[in-house]
Structure 1
Amino acid sequence: MICDNRLLKCASMVSGKGIVCDVGTDHAYLPVYLLEKGICAGAVAGDIADGPLEAAAATVKKAGLEDKIDVVKSDGLKNIKPEGITDVVMAGMGAETISEIIAAAPWLENGVNLVLQPMTKEPYLRKWLYENGYIIVKEEAVSDGDRIYTVMNVRFDGFRMTVSDNFAETGMFDLSDEESFKYIRKHAAKLKNVSEGIRRSGKEDTADLDKMICFIDEISKGTKKFTVGDIYDEIDRIAPFRTQDDWDNSGLLVGDRDTEVTGILTALDITHETIGEAIAKKANLIVSHHPVIFRPLKHLSMSDPAVHLAAAGISAICVHTPLDKAVHGINDMIADMIGREFSVSGTRTPMISESPDSADGDGRIIEITEEGLSAEDMARRLGKMFGGGPVRFAPGMRKIRRVAICSGSGGSLLSFVSKNNCDAYITGDVKHDVWLSAVSEGITLFDCGHFYTERMSAEYLAKLLKTAAPGVNVETAATCTDVVRCI
Structure 2
Amino acid sequence: MPKIKDITAYLDRIAPPAYQENYDNSGLIAGEPHKEITGVLVTLDVTEDVVEEASKRSCNLIVAHHPIIFKGLKRLTGSNYVERTVMMALRNDIAIYAIHTNLDNVHTGVNRKICEMIGLEKTKILAPKKNLLKKLEFFVPEENTKEVLNALHRAGAGEVGNYDHCSFRSSGTGSFRPGEGTKPHIGAQDVQEEVKEHKAEVLLPAHKEHAVLQALFAAHPYEEVAYYLFLLENENQEVGSGMVGELPQPMQAMEFLRHLKRSMNLNMIRYTKPTGREIRRVAVCGGAGSFLLGQAKRSQADVFITADFKYHEFFDAEDSIMIADIGHYESEVYTKDLLVEILNKKFANIASYLSEVVTNPIAYL
The bucket for the TM-score relative to the shorter chain is 0.5 to 0.7
Q: Which residue of 1 aligns with 2:48?
A: 272
Q: How does 1:159-238 map to 2 (within 5 A)?
A: 225-238=1-14
Give the Cα separation in 1 of the matches to 2:128 and 2:347: 35
Q: CA deviation at 1:416?
A: 1.8
Answer 1 or 2: which has greater strand percent. 2
Q: Which residue of 1 aligns with 2:347?
A: 469
Give the Cα separation in 1 of the matches to 2:273 and 2:246: 18
Give the Cα separation in 2 of the matches to 1:437 and 1:354: 24
Q: Which residue of 1 aligns with 2:303?
A: 424
Alignment-mate amino acid for residue 124 of structure 2: T
Residue among 322, 330, 336 paired with 1:452: 330
How many residue pairs get matched? Answer: 256
**1:284-320 per-position Cα deviation (integer Å, ceiling 9, x unaligned):** 1100111111122233133322232122211011000
Structure 1: which 5+ residue stretches go unaligned?
Answer: 1-224
**1:375–1:395 Cα contact (<8 Å) kept:** no
Paired residue secondary structure (1:466): helix
**1:351–1:362 Cα contact (<8 Å) kept:** yes
| Distance of aligned partners of 1:444 and 1:353 in 2 relative to their CA distance in 1, 3 Å threshold | farther
Give the Cα separation in 1 of the matches to 2:361 and 2:259: 23
Q: How does 1:51-450 map to 2 (within 5 A)?
A: 225-302=1-78, 303-304=81-82, 305-339=85-119, 346-352=121-127, 355=130, 357-358=235-236, 359-368=238-247, 370-371=249-250, 373-399=251-277, 400-438=279-317, 440-450=318-328
Give the Cα separation in 2 of the matches to 1:349 and 1:362: 10
**1:404–1:422 Cα contact (<8 Å) kept:** yes
Paired residue secondary structure (1:360): strand
Paired residue secondary structure (2:55): helix
**2:113–2:335 Cα contact (<8 Å) kept:** no
Alignment-mate amino acid for residue 421 of structure 1: Q
Q: CA deviation at 1:476?
A: 0.9
Structure 2: which 5+ residue stretches go unaligned?
Answer: 131-233
**1:268–1:454 Cα contact (<8 Å) kept:** yes
**2:24–2:70 Cα contact (<8 Å) kept:** yes
**1:251-280 per-position Cα deviation (integer Å, ceiling 9, x unaligned):** 011112212211110101111110010111
**1:10-45 per-position Cα deviation (integer Å, ceiling 9, x unaligned):** xxxxxxxxxxxxxxxxxxxxxxxxxxxxxxxxxxxx
Alignment-mate amino acid for residue 415 of structure 1: G
Q: Which residue of 2 aligns with 1:8?
A: none
Q: What TM-score, normalized by structure 1, do the two folds share?
A: 0.50
Answer 1 or 2: which has greater helix percent. 1
Alignment-mate amino acid for residue 316 of structure 1: I
Which range moved further: 287-296 or 419-428?
A: 419-428
Alignment-mate amino acid for residue 311 of structure 2: H
**1:321-357 per-position Cα deviation (integer Å, ceiling 9, x unaligned):** 1111223211111111222xxxx5x312212356471
| Distance of aligned partners of 1:248 and 1:443 in 2 relative to their CA distance in 1, 3 Å threshold | same
**1:440-484 per-position Cα deviation (integer Å, ceiling 9, x unaligned):** 252100011111111111122122223333432221111144332
Q: What TM-score, normalized by structure 2, do the two folds share?
A: 0.66
Give the Cα separation in 1 of the matches to 2:247 and 2:342: 30
Paired residue secondary structure (2:329): helix
Q: RCO (CA 8 Å, sep 6+): is it higher in 1 or 2?
A: 2
Paired residue secondary structure (1:458): helix
Give the Cα separation in 2 of the matches to 1:320 and 1:328: 13
What's the Cα RMSD here?
1.9
